[in-house]
Every structure is written in structure tokens, then in C-alpha cells.
Chains A and B, each alone.
Chain A
Amino acid sequence: MNTPLAEPMQPVPYRIQGFERETHDTFTLELKAAGEVSPWVFAPGQFNMLCVFGTGEVPISISSNPADTASIKHTTRVVGAVTNAMNTLKPGDSIGVRGPFGSSWPLELGRGKDVVLIAGGIGLAPLRPALFELLAYRERFRRIILLYGTRTPRDILFKRDLKRWRSHFDLEVYITVDRASGAWQGMVGVVIKLIQRAPFDPSNAIALICGPEVMMRFSIEALQQRGIGNENIFVSMERNMKCGCGFCGHCQYGPHFVCQDGPVFGYDRIASIFSKAEV
């Protein structure tokens, strides 16, 4: 892992290298170390704690290409005080980084299999590094299929990436939106419909899901109906991550700490608690 983990509770100062508005309420920050640090190494699915000095600290998934070790990107939605403050940052401004933390997508398990990535809304951000890695080692996998559902056409993230990915002959990208007006010629409906139709072999596939929990619950049911076993389904969970090191217990999820044991879990490990309202 990266050097900042040597002092996991101490934020390392980074500079904003780039700020890109993705949609009306989401943006991507590109960060570069302010001083000398070793190349940034992370595994797809991991997250960092980002600290806006004087405002607060939040966990944000890493959305950049793992092969790009010179800088790191985080994509988030404006939802509260800290992300609001981040939304006002400009190139050259300072931000604190702790991480990377947590578990990653088990892409090795997809070798020789179909890999289905299912993203809902902002959930595409933590899956983006996985897709970069899958494409970097394309020959190891059979079909790679991205199923992406979001609210409306204007909420579609990473439009340039999606256009590029769609032009790959060996990657299938299907997008649906919950509602649309006349100009949209694409699919309208929930992401579940994409799962029902997607051309993968359920007996030889793994599925990686990231999105709101309700959407993940319905997606898991749809995958099970297609015949994928729980051991081949992986989900990225979101809980109240604070320390990132399993010290504070804020992100306890049944017997797990999401910041350490997660955020990526094999569904077979959490199936018994996944839909429990009390957990």
C-alpha cells in the first residue's frame, strides 16, 4: 500500500491538480502529493479519507486508473458540509489525504469468467478503477459487461469514458435511466432489467455491484434468478467510516468493520445481515 499508511491517522497534504465537473451535482478532484512521496498505489474498490482543513474529513472512493500512479482521482456528489467545501476547491489548493483503506474488488476471481459490473448512480465511481484494470488485462477474462443505471440522462457520470468504453469491441456497456424526456433515445427503466437481459453465462461469471443499498438488494435478487451463486456476487457497502483503521467502530456492520473488512464484501459473507433493517 501507499506510504501514508505508515501513519494512518495523519493526513498527508496533497494539492488539487485538477477539478472536473461531472454532472450538476458531482465532481472529480485530481490530487497530487504536495511533497515527495512514493508512487500512489491502490487496489480498485479502496477508499481514502479526504480532509478539508477546518471543515472535516470524509471517506471517498478512489475513481482513477490504478495504473496512473502520479496522481489520484476521487469522484463525489455534493451532499454535505465537507463535500460542499470540496466543491469550491481550485487547482493549487491543499487537501489532506489518509489511505488507501479497505478491501478491493476481487478481480482475480474473474479470471476465465464473465465479469459483470453493476453500477447505480454515483456507484460507478468505485467501479471505474476496476474497469480500467479489467481492460488492462483484457485477455484474462471472458465477457466484460457494464450495466449502469442512474436517475436521468443528465446524471450520467463519466460520459467521455462511457463513450470510449462503448467503442471497445470487447466490452459491452448498457445504460438505463429511471426517467427521461423526449430527447433521450436510450433505455428507460431500472437497472434490474439490464441484469435480466445481459448476455453473460451465470454458471461462469462474477458480479460486482456498487450503488444504493435498495438497488443492490434488487440487483442481487435478479442475479440469483439468473443463477449466479452468492459466492460470485460482490458488493461495496457504505457505512459511517471515520478512522479508516477499525479503531473507532463507527462503521460496524454486524460482526464487520466496513473500513477494514469492506467496503467490498463477498455477498456470501454478509447475506444473513444484508437486508436486516436493524444492522
Chain B
Amino acid sequence: MQTLKTPLKEHPFFQGLDDSHLETIAGCGRNIQFAAGETIFREGQEADYFYVIRHGSVALDIHGAQRGAITIETVAAGEIIGWSWLVPPYRWRFSARAVVKTRAIALDGRCLRGKCEQDFQLGYELFKRFAHVFSERLDHTIMQLLDVYCENPAKKIGR
């Protein structure tokens, strides 16, 4: 019987993780599918899972009262969504919806937290990977905040 270990092993996020750790992680997971437009989770809800995207695309939205939903990023196959399960109070900081039909592996955050408490090596390996994702997304956010395409060097020279 094929377990989730194989697709997890093939996913870039888990690259280099040893088989026993993959087995442990797979034990907290299940396959899941979302239809185009389906909400995966909403801002403020309890964050019990994180999602390993296998196919499709997911939009991460923040809701502004007057402005409606603003998409801040789309995430595609080969990426993951969600780290709120790692940080108290374990609530989603944004909403996620499938842009197209999307297949993913949902990993139970509570289950994983428990396993990481028992196996610090697993915890360290997972945190290294999340640190990389944090750092990359921080870089991207900095670029977005800088609003670089609005940068206007020409103003300095009176264009």
C-alpha cells in the first residue's frame, strides 16, 4: 500500500529528510482536495493544519473592511501554506482559497507538535525548513512593502 511518505519525500519542502522522520510526518497527514474557489481556511480560525501543495494553486487573502479581499500571495505546487499551527495562539493570520482545483496533503499541526516534542531531531529538521520559508517570505514581503515598481528615480532628475 502506498503511504503519504512517497509524495512527501518528492516534495521540495521535505527534501533531505530521513525515512523515519518522513514516516512519522506521514502519520499525521491525509490527502485532501479543494475545488476551484473553495475556502481552505479563514483568517482568525483555529490553525490545526498546514498544507503541502501537490497540484494547483492557492491564494492567500487578507480582508480589509472597505477594500474586500486582497490577495497577498499565491502558492503553487512544490510549496507549503501555513505556519500558524507552530505559533501560539495557533490561529490563521490570513485566509486561503483554491484558485483552481488543488490537491494537497493536510498535516495535523497538533499531531506534529506532539511528535516534535518527543523527537527534538525531527523538530529541528522541521524548524530549519520553516525558517527557510520564513526568511524567503520575509524577503518577498520587504520587496512588496518597498513598492519597488512605484520607485521613481526620474523624479530626482525632473523628468
- The answer on a CB contact under 8 Å between B154 and A58 is yes
Does B65 interact with chain A (Cβ within 8 Å)? Answer: no
- The answer on a CB contact under 8 Å between A215 and B143 is yes
For chain B residues 40-87, which have a beta carbon within 8 Å of chain A?
A: 57, 59-60, 67-74, 76, 78
- The answer on a CB contact under 8 Å between B139 and A218 is yes
CB neighbours of B157 from chain A (8 A): 58, 80, 240
- The answer on a CB contact under 8 Å between A80 and B148 is no
For chain A residues 171-189, which have a beta carbon within 8 Å of chain B?
A: 178-182, 184-189
Residues of chain A at interface, number, CB under 8 A: 39
Closest to A250 in B: B157
Question: Residues of A with Cβ closer than 8 Å to B?
Answer: 56, 58, 76-77, 79-83, 120-122, 149-151, 155, 178-182, 184-190, 192-193, 197, 211-215, 218, 238, 240
CB neighbours of B159 from chain A (8 A): 58, 76, 79-83
Q: Among B71, B139, B146, B152, which residue has its beta carbon within 8 angstroms of that of A179?
A: B71
Residues of chain B at interface, number, CB under 8 A: 32
Task: Provide the bound-state CA to CA distance between A185 and B59, in Å.
Answer: 9
Closest to B157 in A: A240
Task: Provide the bound-state CA to CA distance between A66 and B143, in Å.
Answer: 33
CB neighbours of B140 from chain A (8 A): 189-190, 192-193
Question: Residues of B with Cβ closer than 8 Å to A?
Answer: 57, 59-60, 67-74, 76, 78, 99, 139-140, 143-144, 146-159
Closest to B139 in A: A218
- The answer on a CB contact under 8 Å between A238 and B73 is no
Task: Provide the bound-state CA to CA distance between A215 and B78, in Å.
Answer: 23
Task: Provide the bound-state CA to CA distance between A76 and B154, in Å.
Answer: 11
CB neighbours of A155 from chain B (8 A): 149
- The answer on a CB contact under 8 Å between A187 and B74 is yes
- The answer on a CB contact under 8 Å between B158 and A179 is no
- The answer on a CB contact under 8 Å between A150 and B149 is yes
Task: Provide the bound-state CA to CA distance between A215 and B156, in Å.
Answer: 19
- The answer on a CB contact under 8 Å between B71 and A212 is no
CB neighbours of A192 from chain B (8 A): 139-140, 143
- The answer on a CB contact under 8 Å between A151 and B59 is no
The 9 sampled A-B contact pairs (Cβ below 8 Å) are: A82-B158, A150-B149, A155-B149, A178-B147, A187-B76, A193-B140, A214-B148, A218-B139, A240-B156
- The answer on a CB contact under 8 Å between A56 and B158 is yes
